Structure 1
Amino acid sequence: MLASLIGWLATPEQDSLRRAFVVWLKRVLLPARVPGAELPNINDLQEMRAMLAERVKTWIEEWKQQGLEQGIKEGIEKGLSQGEIRLLRRQLVRRFGALPAWAEACLDQASEAELEIWADRILDGETLKEVLREPI
């Protein structure tokens, strides 16, 4: 696309329009598509094309790395929650016996905050319903 634009604007009488496109690319399009990216001071469409050809590869690698890091973080968090659920389930079974379907459903749908509250209540609750009642 940029190559076609450069070809179309190649004539000397299009100088001001070429500069306008460079300004638009630097101030509008690229900041919206690549937030936080630092762009060199470029005033020519040919330079912009060369810079983008180089930078896009770098940006793609950065985005892949960010996605990988986010996926690892989410995986760890989910793994911790699943571990907490397994531990609480074991404690509840040991204290109250086999869990009814409603209790299993509570555990499967629990938020982290609920798990923490229930983990504290397991020490004091007299019944399974007391432990798994709605958080305060």
Structure 2
Amino acid sequence: SVNRDLKKEIKEAEKMLTQIDMTRIPAYELGMEKGREEGKAALLTRQLSLKFGSLPQAVDQRIKGAHANELATWGEKVLTAKSLDEVFL
């Protein structure tokens, strides 16, 4: 019947949609990168707060505006820094 054929086509279309490689979609890749940066920023903020106490708003804004490579560098420096300023030198 027509209804059965239509259901079969819908199932085939659904199967095709689930097989799309999302990592090949530029917007998806951009979203994933942004998510990773936000995670690194949140971790760095937590580490700095635990080590040095409440963070000035300027530091918080600097972290939120930073790129992944800056966040990684600061994340390493927080391990040995004696002051908040040393992290950002």
Matching residue within 51, 56, 63 for 1:107: 63
The percent identity for this pair of structures is 32
Deviations along 1:1-32, one digit per CA (max 9) or x if unpaired, are: xxxxxxxxxxxxxxxxxxxxxxxxxxxxxxxx
Tell whether 2:36 aligns with 1:84: no
Who is 2:87 aligned against?
A: 131
Structure 1, unaligned runs of 5 or more: 1-64
Deviations along 1:20-68, one digit per CA (max 9) or x if unpaired, are: xxxxxxxxxxxxxxxxxxxxxxxxxxxxxxxxxxxxxxxxxxxxx99x7
Q: Which of the pair has more CA radius of gyration?
A: 1
* Amino acid of the structure 2 residue aligned with 1:76: M
Aligned-partner Cα distance in 2 for 1:105–1:132: 13
What TM-score do the two structures reach when normalised by structure 2? 0.70
Aligned-partner Cα distance in 1 for 2:26–2:80: 38
Structure 2, unaligned runs of 5 or more: 1-20
- Structure 1 outlier segments of 4+, above 2 Å: none
1:5-44 aligned within 5 A: none
Q: Quote the offset at 1:112 in angstroms.
A: 1.2
Count of residues in Structure 1 that have an aligned counterpart in Structure 2? 68
CA contact (8 A) 1:118 1:131 kept: yes
Q: Quote the offset at 1:114 in angstroms.
A: 0.8
What TM-score do the two structures reach when normalised by structure 1? 0.47
Aligned-partner Cα distance in 2 for 1:75–1:85: 15
Higher relative contact order, chain-length normalized (CA < 8 Å, sep 6+): 2
